[in-house]
Structure formats: C-alpha cells, structure tokens
C-alpha cells in the first residue's frame, strides 16, 4: 500500500509568525515584509491568503493580487517549492510571505491564520484553492484514495475558513472557494473530485445564508480547463501521482487569465462565476437538457478515452 498522506512538519511553536524562508532570523519578518507591491491598485491595503499557492493557478492568483496592491500569504505543503515561489515573487518586487500548512489539518490552518494576522494585522480575502485531483474510475479506486481527494477539496476548504472566519467578519471580507466546472455535471474518472467540488459550491450557498448579516461575502469560482504546470500530478486508483489526463490546448485558458477572472469575481463580490464558454454550456445543458448532457459524456468517453483516463 503506497503512502497516501504527504505530511510535512509545519512550523514549530514559537516561530508561528515567521515566514518560511525567514526561518532562523529574529528580525527576518521585518526584512521580508518590505516588498515593492504597488501601494495603489484595486486591492491596496488588503491582505489575502491563497491556499495551495506554491504552484499553478494559486500562484498566478497570488501574483495578480500582489500586482493589484494586496499583501499575500502564500501557502503549500512542500517547503522547498513554497520557498522557491516566495523567492520568485519577491524577486518580482511583490509583497508576500509564506506559511507551510496542510489545509486538511485544522491545527495547521489555525497556524496559517495566526501567521497572517501576526504578520499583517488583518485578513480581508481568503481564497481556498488547494486541492488534489484524480484520474481513476470509482470501481478501481481504493477507499483511502477517495477519502484523500475528498478531504483535500472539502476539509481543505472548511478548515481554513473556520480558522479565518472571526478575522474575515471583522473586515467584512471576501471568501472565494475554487471549484470546477466538473462540480456542475458528473465526470467519469473524477468521482471524489467532482463530489468534493460540488460540496464546496453547496457549502458556499449555505454559509451565504447563515452569515448574511455579517457583511462577509462568500463566493465560488467554477474553473474550466486551464493550462497546468508541467510537474502537476493527480492521484490514480492506488494513490500514485500520475500526470493529468490530456486536455486539448485550444480548450485551455492560461493561469494568468484565470487569475484575472478570480480577481474580478472578488472585486465585484460575486456569488458565482463560471469560467469559459464550455462551463456556461455545461450549466445550460445540465439544467435544461440533462439527458443530452449524459449522452455527450457517454459518447465522448467511448471515443475519447484519453480525455478521461
């Protein structure tokens, strides 16, 4: 049985507000929070956390937020990649710190939020982007792999928000759950992922109703096919990391485009954004012509197996 849970030791007590790459320096925090982020811009004065921002769309979103004036706390669970990303963005003159935390662990999430508050004194934006994806049929999947994918998408959203909520209520902040167009319609070989992304969309609706009087905004972005980092891996049926299934490049948006759309969603305090024409078509077909939707999926799964497997 392969090792399914990759846990990296988070910060030890006593270093909770030290950015990951400032580790041993007593005055490291001060030195490292003097980036050259624009003091103007639509997000000037705002502090954001983007989970899973050491790579991919999360990293592009963190970069776009900084360029638009925000101070950003990066997060990931690979220390080496997190440091690399923090340094890369700092070389671009952007104001970032980073915090190693596994978002499926509530204690890590509490530490992530404590770090952000200790560093910047407030929290205005939380983007729950961290996620593990998969390519495996339900019949073949080990139950533990299903749990791991579901946990990363559901508890990886619930725990950071639970820890951040009091601070977000203080600032009447914005929460953005990163979901997928695959939450809008079932997708063969993506059972746990689709279930997790759909759960998150429903959670946003419920929380919007529960928290209506607080001034906090909770929204969901359903992302469509997007260019992936070459090193991106998803889990197969036994939990082994494998490359993502083939996606026609012409169907993919760039990470920077997706990041721009996420920022617009936040600025407008929108409840739901569905990215791409394909995404909007899926909503339309799923709502009004569900049998046609199923026919399309079943036909493509026979003709375009590599698209799913």
Q: Which residues bind ligand NAP (CB under 6 A)?
A: 51-52, 54-58, 75-78, 102-104, 129-133, 152, 156, 178, 180, 223, 225-226, 228-229, 232
Nearer of residues 37 and 75 to ligand NAP, judged by Cβ: 75
Nearer of residues 102 and 124 to ligand NAP, judged by Cβ: 102
The total of other beta-carbon atoms located within 10 Å of residue 143's CB is 8
The tokens for 241 are 């990391």
Please report how close the Cβ of residue 59 comes to ligand NAP at its closest, in angstroms. Answer: 8
Nearer of residues 81 and 208 to ligand NAP, judged by Cβ: 81
C-alpha distances out from residue 278 to 26, 52, 56, 140, Å: 51, 25, 21, 29
Residue 193 is a catalytic residue? yes
Nearer of residues 120 and 177 to ligand NAP, judged by Cβ: 177
C-alpha distances out from residue 49 to 66, 85, 110, Å: 11, 14, 13
Phi, psi of 97 (to 5 degrees): -130, 175
Rounded CA Rg of the chain: 19
Nearer of residues 185 and 228 to ligand NAP, judged by Cβ: 228
From 120, 159, 167, 193, active-site residue = 193
Q: Which residue has the tokens 């939707």?
A: 293
Please report how close the Cβ of residue 51 comes to ligand NAP at its closest, in angstroms. Answer: 6
Question: Nearest residue by C-beta to ligand NAP?
Answer: 56
Please state the length of the chain.
309
* Neighbouring residues of 303: CB distance < 8 A, sequence distance ≥ 6: none
Please report how close the Cβ of residue 253 comes to ligand NAP at its closest, in angstroms. Answer: 8
What is the spatial distance between Cα 122 and Cα 111, in angstroms, rounded to a whole number? 14
Please report how close the Cβ of residue 291 comes to ligand NAP at its closest, in angstroms. Answer: 25
C-alpha distances out from residue 236 to 56, 115, 241, 244, 245, Å: 20, 34, 6, 10, 11
Please report how close the Cβ of residue 189 comes to ligand NAP at its closest, in angstroms. Answer: 14
Catalytic residue numbers read 193
């Amino acid at each position: 049985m392969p090792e399914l849970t990759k846990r990296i030791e988070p910060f030890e007590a006593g270093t909770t507000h030290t950015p990951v790459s400032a580790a041993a320096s007593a005055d490291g925090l001060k030195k490292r929070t003097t980036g050259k982020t624009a003091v103007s811009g639509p997000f000037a004065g705002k502090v954001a956390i983007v989970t899973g921002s050491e790579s991919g769309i999360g990293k592009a979103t963190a970069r776009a937020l900084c360029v638009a004036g925000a101070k950003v706390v990066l997060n990931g669970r690979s220390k080496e990649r997190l440091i690399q990303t923090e340094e890369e963005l700092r070389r671009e003159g952007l104001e970032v710190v980073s915090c190693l935390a596994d978002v499926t662990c509530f204690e890590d999430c509490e530490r992530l939020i404590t770090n952000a508050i200790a560093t910047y004194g407030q929290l205005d934006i939380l983007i729950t982007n961290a996620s593990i994806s998969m390519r495996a049929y339900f019949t073949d999947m080990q139950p533990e792999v299903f749990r791991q994918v579901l946990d990363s998408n559901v508890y990886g959203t619930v725990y950071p928000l639970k820890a951040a909520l009091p601070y977000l209520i203080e600032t009447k902040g914005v929460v953005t759950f990163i979901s997928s167009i695959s939450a809008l319609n079932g997708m063969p070989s993506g059972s746990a992922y689709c279930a997790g992304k759909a759960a998150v969309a429903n959670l946003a609706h419920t929380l919007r109703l529960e928290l209506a009087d607080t001034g906090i905004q909770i929204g969901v972005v359903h992302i469509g096919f997007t260019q992936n980092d070459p090193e991106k891996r998803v889990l197969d049926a036994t939990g082994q990391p494998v490359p993502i299934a083939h996606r026609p490049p012409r169907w993919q948006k760039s990470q920077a485009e997706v990041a721009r759309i996420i920022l617009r969603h936040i600025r407008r305090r929108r409840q739901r954004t569905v990215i791409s024409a394909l995404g909007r078509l899926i909503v339309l077909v799923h709502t009004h012509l569900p049998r046609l939707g199923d026919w399309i999926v079943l036909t493509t799964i026979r003709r375009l197996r590599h698209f799913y497997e």
